[in-house]
Amino acid sequence: MQRARRSILPHPFLTFVLIVVWCLLAGGISLGTVVFGTILGLLIPQVTAAYWPDAPRRVHPVKITLYVLLVLWDILIANIEVAWIVLTKKNRDMRSIWVTIPLELRTPEAIAILAGTITLTPGTVTADMSDEGHCLLIHALNADDADAVRDDIKNRYERRLKEIFE
């Protein structure tokens, strides 16, 4: 039963997202858009299932919604902060540093989300990952203390992602 479900719906959440995206693209919910969206939502995960073999299981929807809201709020703050730094600080007063973050996360999806979050939030851009995937390299625009940046990211984002995915 479980196996039959998996062969028809390899990624139920992806199916749901595809239906919603199709309805948004078509600009309204009618029987036609929902039916065609469902067809796409069944076909696309089937065709692409080979490229995404191990999707994470047991993802908490409430926690991930809270995480998205937190990140959206941080993006707002980040924008204002970076705009202020760009407008008021001189280039030679800016202390740009590299920060390395040893990762506790092991799920590839979670690491990808963490990297994206870091790029979109205050004064930091994800630059690279170590060859074995145990460490992220981050560039901070204006920071005094690499350890403080690292602890902030670990406490604020990585801990929550670990709760969500692992």
Partner 1 sequence: MTLTDLIEIVIAVALVIGAVFTLIGSVGLMKLDTAMKRMHAPTKAATLGIGALLMASMIHSFAFGSGSLKEVLIMAFLFVTAPISANFIAKVAIHRGQDVPPPSPPNDQTWSTLNPLDEAIDDPELPTRS
Q: Which parts of this chain interact with partner 1 (CB under 8 A)?
A: 21, 24-25, 27, 75-76, 78-80, 82-83, 86-87, 91, 94, 96, 98, 100, 102, 115-116, 118-120, 123, 125-135, 137, 139, 141
Tokens encoding 83: 């705009």
Nearer to partner 1, 35 or 94 (CB): 94
Cβ 5 to partner 1, closest distance in Å? 27
Tokens encoding 142: 């204006």
Nearest to 140 by CA among 161, 125, 157, 118: 125
Cβ 51 to partner 1, closest distance in Å? 17
Tokens encoding 109: 């999806």
| 3-state secondary structure at position 101 | strand
Nearer to partner 1, 49 or 82 (CB): 82
Cβ 100 to partner 1, closest distance in Å? 6
Cβ 127 to partner 1, closest distance in Å? 4
Residue 124 and residue 78 in contact, taking contact as beta carbons nearer than 8 Å? no
Q: Would you give the distance in Å from CA 158 to the centre of its chain?
A: 11
Identify the DSSP state of 90: -
Cβ 85 to partner 1, closest distance in Å? 8
Tokens encoding 72: 């959206």
Nearer to partner 1, 43 or 86 (CB): 86
Position 166, amino acid: E
Nearer to partner 1, 8 or 75 (CB): 75
Nearer to partner 1, 8 or 128 (CB): 128
Residue 64 and residue 106 in contact, taking contact as beta carbons nearer than 8 Å? no
